[in-house]
Amino acid sequence: MITPSPASLSSQRASTSAPAAYRPSLGRRVGSWIANRFAIIAAILVLFYLFLPVGYTFVFSFNNYRKSNIVWNSEGSPTLKHWADPCGAPGICSALGTSLKVGLIATVVATVLGTLIAFALVRHRFRGRAASNLLVFIPMATPEIVLGASLLTIFVQAFTFLKLGFWTIVIAHVMFCVSFVVVTVKARLQSLDPRLDEAAMDLYAGPGQTFLRVTFPLVLPGIVGASLLAFSLSFDDFIITNFVSGNETTFPKYVYVSYLRGIPAQANVIGFSMFVIALTLVILGSVIGNARKK
């Protein structure tokens, strides 16, 4: 007969007398799992909330509707006929062309003016500079309905030679796009090291060469970003445009008016296509920027 040693007896007593390992309840484990992944869950919910209208636009571009494109028609849906003929709805492509022309003109003018103003505010000291910095933010902080009503009053009472239409829309869009261009380019200029210009001048570069070969290439990404922002704001604007457009119809105004009788699926096609183009440009810019950094 084998008698256990005192050491094994003590270990057996310790194992039998030791309490069982603590295991948290199911509710605590679930709460811990959610707490550890709260940021990811919140990001997914926010993205779902943001892209839900885009998904609705994409899905209903394939709807084989009859009178209204609000309710999904199971007969003949999905269909590609709206993608094959995006100009099938009366007046939709002319409204899109008006928005593109207004956006391009307003973007070019606002980018040039805003860039010049940003350079003046950052690189020069003059009387009234602080007040100018404050005035730049006023169009951004003012509600669009106030801007639209004010511009309508100016065009009707002060500038009576201007008939409400294409050019009044352009003037209005330039006015509120300039502020966004100034802020964007100004932030880019303030992030640059002024010693780069001094180094170029030490190497016998004149003011023109310094600007073209040093300053402008460094500021160019900010200018491009500001121009894309200005174009998107101009193309997307409805409230101010509705005040000053007169009988002219832009794409957002066309969509708003069409809502009363049902937005045509061709509007969904064009809207989703513009979203894909914008997303592609953003991804392409990000890829090019990362490639330059490497």
> Would you give per-residue pLDDT tens digits along the chain (294 residues)?
455 555 555 555 555 544 555 566 777 777 788 778 888 889 999 999 988 988 888 888 888 877 777 778 777 778 888 888 888 888 889 999 999 999 999 999 999 999 999 988 888 888 888 888 888 888 888 888 999 899 998 888 877 788 888 999 999 999 989 999 999 999 888 887 777 777 777 676 777 777 777 778 888 888 888 998 899 999 989 999 999 988 899 999 988 888 777 788 888 888 888 888 888 888 887 787 777 777
Amino acid 21: pLDDT: 57
Q: Answer whether residue 98 is part of any domain.
A: yes
Amino acid 5: pLDDT: 57
Q: Answer whether residue 186 is part of any domain.
A: yes
Q: Answer whether residue 3 is part of any domain.
A: no
Q: Answer whether residue 10 is part of any domain.
A: no
Q: Which residues contact 185 (CB under 8 A, 6 or more apart)?
A: 114, 115, 118, 119, 219, 222, 223, 226
Q: Answer whether residue 135 is part of any domain.
A: yes
Q: Which residues contact 201 (CB under 8 A, 6 or more apart)?
A: 207, 210
Q: How many domains does the chain have?
A: 1
Amino acid 216: pLDDT: 82
Q: pLDDT digit string (tens) for 153-169? A: 888 887 778 888 899 99
How far is the C-alpha of 198 from the C-alpha of 195, rounded, in Å? 5
Q: Answer whether residue 175 is part of any domain.
A: yes
Amino acid 100: pLDDT: 93
Q: Answer whether residue 4 is part of any domain.
A: no
**Residue 196 lies in domain:** 89-264
The CATH number that applies at residue 221 is 1.10.3720.10
Q: Answer whether residue 147 is part of any domain.
A: yes
Amino acid 250: pLDDT: 92
Q: Which residue is listed with tokens 């008698």? A: 3
Amino acid 18: pLDDT: 47
Amino acid 211: pLDDT: 77
Amino acid 121: pLDDT: 87
How far is the C-alpha of 172 from the C-alpha of 243, rounded, in Å? 10
pTM across the whole model: 0.79
